[in-house]
Structure 1
Amino acid sequence: MNPLCRLALFLFLTATQVGAEAMLQYFNTSWRELTRKIPEIAEAGYQSLWIPPPTKAGGVFSVGYDLFDRFDLGSKDQKGSVRTRYGTEPELLNLIQIAHRFGIRVYFDAIMNHNGFDVPGYNEAVPEDLYPGFLPGDFHLRTTAEGFYRKWDNTRDWGSEWQVQNLGLSGLIDIATEPGAANRNHGGFEGENSTKPVYLRHPENPEYYCYIPSGPGQTHAANEGIYVGFGADNGVTRSFLQLNESFYEEIVEDML
C-alpha cells in the first residue's frame, strides 16, 4: 500500500472512531411523557435531546416561539396558566435530572431575537412594561404622533442585511439585539436611531441575579463582583438591588 493510501485509511479510521453526538429532536409532547421515554431514548443510543422553548409564551396552547417571559419556566400564573404547553417548572427540572442520570444532554431552543406579537404601549390600555424586564426602547418600534408604538414591517428583502437585523419576522416584536447603546430602528421613521434604556430590569426578583459588588465601577452585566449563585438563598434582596441599582442596571442584550 502506498503512503497516500495508508494516510487516507488512517484518517478514515480515526474519524469513524471519534464519532458525533447523536441528538434526538423531541417536540410536541409534555415534559412528563418525555421523562417516561428517557430510558428508551438512552437504549436507542441517543446522547442528547433537543427540546422546544421551555419558557412562558403567548398562552397555554402556544408552542413557545411567541415569547412572553424568559424567567417563567412554568412557575408563574401568567398568560392564562401557571404551566406552559409542555408542563410545569418542576416537571422540566425532573426531565433534565433524569436525562442526565442516563447520560443524556438536554438542549432547548433559546429565543433571543424577538418576543411575542403584542406591542407595549400600543395605546393607553396597554402598559409599556407589558413584557417582564422590557420597555419599548428595547425593541425595533415605530413611534406615533400620539406617543404610542407600532411594529415595523416584516423583512421585505432577505438579501438586505439591515432589514434582516432591524425589521420584523412573522409579525413578532423584534428585540434590538445589535451591540452597543444605540437602537438602530426606533423612532418616527425607518432607520432612526435611539438610545437603549439602561435600568434595573427585575427589581422584584433578586433571585435572578448571581453577583454582588465588591468594588467601585463594577457591573453585574460584566460578571464582576462576588459570585453568589442564583436562587432565593443567594443573599440578594430587593432592598439590596435598589441600594446597588447602578451595579445591576443593564441594556437589553446584557439581560439576554
Structure 2
Amino acid sequence: MLKSIDMDFTAGNIYGLFGKNGEGKSTLLKIMTGLLFPKAGSCMLDGYETGKRSVQSLQHIFLVPEDFELPGIPIRTFEKAQSCFYPNFSREQFYELIAEFQLSPTDVISRLSFGQKKKVLIAFGIATNTKLLLMDEPTNGLDIPSKSQFRKVMASAVDETKCIVISTHQVRDLHSLINHVMILNNGQVVFDQSLDKVSDGLWFGKPAADELSNAIYAESTFGGKAILPRLDKNETEVDLELMFNGVLTEPNRINAILNQKS
C-alpha cells in the first residue's frame, strides 16, 4: 500500500521508478492516469486532476501497461482507430518505429508474439507525443537485442516537452537511459535524486582495502564493488543495480550525502 506519496515530475526527463515487486509501482502509475484513485490527495497534470479523466488531461497521457490485450487487427488499422484521440500523434514517427522494430503495418497483431505486441504498443505510445508517457515494466517479454533497441528508441523520444516515467524492478535494463531515479520501499518514496547529483556525490567501484571502512554499501556478488562518498575521487559511472540495493539498505546515509550537495 502506498503511503504519503509526494512526487513531482518535470518535462525533459526520463525517470526510472524502481522498487521490489509489490511495492506499488503499477498502482502509482494507474493513479497518475486516473485509473485508480488515492484515498487522499490528488494527481495533477497542467492544472487538471487526472482522476477526473477529462479530455484535457487524457489526451496528454499514455500508459504502456505491463499486461494488456490488443485487438486481432492489422497494425495499420489499430493506428487509424486509436491515433485520433491524441492531437500530437505522428503517423510518420509511428511507422518509422514499426520499421525499426522489424514489423510491418499489415501484420495482424493477434498473430504476433508477446514481445512484438509490446513493441507495437511502445511505438504507438512514443508516437502519441503526449506530455506524460508512462511505461510499466516495458522490457518484460523483450529479448536482449530488443532491450538494446528499446533503449535506443527511448533515448531519441525524449525532448523538453515530454516527461517519461519508466517503472521496473529490472534496474539493469534502464542503464544509460534515465536521468533521474525514484525508489519505492515499504510503500514510500525513499529516494528521489537526479543521476547528476548521484554522480557528484557517490563513487561506484572496487575500492582499495584501506577504503572499505568508508564504504556506505558493499556487496561481494558485485565482484567486491562498493558505494563510497565521492569526496575527491574521480567521477564514476552510476551502477544502477548497486545503487538500488544500497538505497534499500542505507537510504538515510545515501540521501544525507546527496542532500549535502544541494
Is TM (by shorter chain) over 0.5? no
Q: Larger helix proportion, structure 1 or 2?
A: 2
Higher relative contact order, structure no. (Cα contacts within 8 Å, ≥ 6 residues apart): 2
TM-score by length of 2: 0.28
Q: Larger strand proportion, structure 1 or 2?
A: 2
Highest Rg: 1 or 2? Answer: 1
